[in-house]
Amino acid sequence: MSAETKDGFVDTNGIRTYYQETGEGPPIVFIHGIDLNLTYWQPEVEFFSRRYRAVAYDLRGMGKSGGANPEYEFDAYLADLTALLAALGIDRPVLCGHSLGADIILQYGISRPDGMRALVVADAPAPDNWVTSPLAYELQKVAIDVLRVLHPLDPLSPLAPATQHLLYSRAFQEANPEAMAAFRQQYASNSVDGVLHAAKALAFRKDNTEELPQITAPTLLLRGSKDRIVSQGEMDTYHSQIAGSTLEILDGSGHMTLQEQPEKFNGLMEAFLTGLPPA
């Protein structure tokens, strides 16, 4: 029998943040990527809620959470996470982040080295990543401004196919047409301001590369071998800079490792967590 899921909203720095939690035990907090929402963690939450308190939440301006406006800087994500943990009474969780969520927990690990039991960093774009660069943000803003005029009722829909191609491997796209249709619908349903403000916060975030050695928590790094966004070189840099970290490659997966290969993702994460000292 699956564990009961509880959900609700908590106040985090003046916005309403939506969260779900399932199961009991040591806490794991799952943080999704840009322009997505907590539902993408469903396979992981179902798996780990058997022995853990699995918590997932919608980042500001995404999913059911507020905060799409006004603009904010990257540090707002760290403040939101701190407030969420306090509101839910969570101390030293395992933090599992994907893409933007992975960048958030890396910076959290730098600024609060004793604040977590471990980090699971999946498909994290480096500060110099071409997709999350200031230039990419400016181009995206121009495109969306044009689409607001040409498609005022649905400006994000024309961008959904290209975004899908960036996120998913070709094989997964061809084998899962229903999942791809669901992704395009979810992406198009985002707040336009939410998309732009998240992209800007990510593009202009601080370059934390030289600070990565400050991370002392056990760290698992994951990357899909077919990832079109995050290069192997980026993950190798994280691996070399974070002492004692473990790097695993999900062969054949694109950027969305959590969705393309959930069984492999969960197996690698479970083996990593099993090797940790007791919570």
DSSP string, 31-95: E--TT--GGGGHHHHHHHTTTSEEEEEPPTTSTT----SS---THHHHHHHHHHHHHTT--S-EE
Q: How many angstroms separate the CA atoms of 133 and 5, rounded?
A: 37
Domains of the chain as residue ranges with CATH: 5-127+208-274 (3.40.50.1820)
Q: How many angstroms separate the CA atoms of 263 and 272, rounded?
A: 14
Which residues have CB under 8 Å from 67's CB, separation 6+? 15, 17, 60, 61, 76, 80, 194
Per-residue model confidence (pLDDT) at position 1: 42
Q: Do the Cβ atoms of 78 and 201 come closer than 8 Å?
A: no
pTM over cut 0.95: yes
| CB half-sphere exposure, 82, CA atoms < 13 A | 13
> Which two three-digit tokens encode residue 97?
């982040």
Over 90: is that where the pLDDT of 216 sits?
yes
Per-residue pLDDT tens over the stretch 119-160: 999 999 999 999 999 999 999 999 999 999 999 999 999 999
**Residue 49, number of CB atoms within 10 A of its CB:** 21
Per-residue model confidence (pLDDT) at position 279: 77
> Which two three-digit tokens encode residue 196?
């732009």
| CB half-sphere exposure, 16, CA atoms < 13 A | 8
For the chain, the distance separating the N- and C-terminal CA atoms, rounded to the nearest angstrom, is 25
Q: Do the Cβ atoms of 87 and 27 come closer than 8 Å?
A: no
Helices (H), 151-216: 160-167, 170-175, 177-188, 192-203
Per-residue pLDDT tens over the stretch 163-196: 999 999 999 999 999 999 999 999 999 999 999 9
DSSP string, 228-251: SSS-HHHHHHHHHHSTT-EEEEET
Give the 3-state secondary structure of residue 214. Answer: helix
> Which two three-digit tokens encode residue 268?
């690698």
Per-residue model confidence (pLDDT) at position 147: 97
pLDDT (mean) for 43-50: 98
Give the 3-state secondary structure of residue 276. Answer: coil
Residue type, 251: D
In whole angstroms, how far apart are CA 130 and each of 50, 127, 136, 228, 229? 38, 9, 7, 11, 8
Per-residue model confidence (pLDDT) at position 154: 94
State the DSSP H helix or E strand holding residue 17, giving kind and residue range, or none if neither. Answer: strand 15-22
Q: What percent of the chain has pLDDT over 90?
A: 98
Give the 3-state secondary structure of residue 147. Answer: helix
> Which two three-digit tokens encode residue 105?
């927990």
**Residue 62, number of CB atoms within 10 A of its CB:** 24
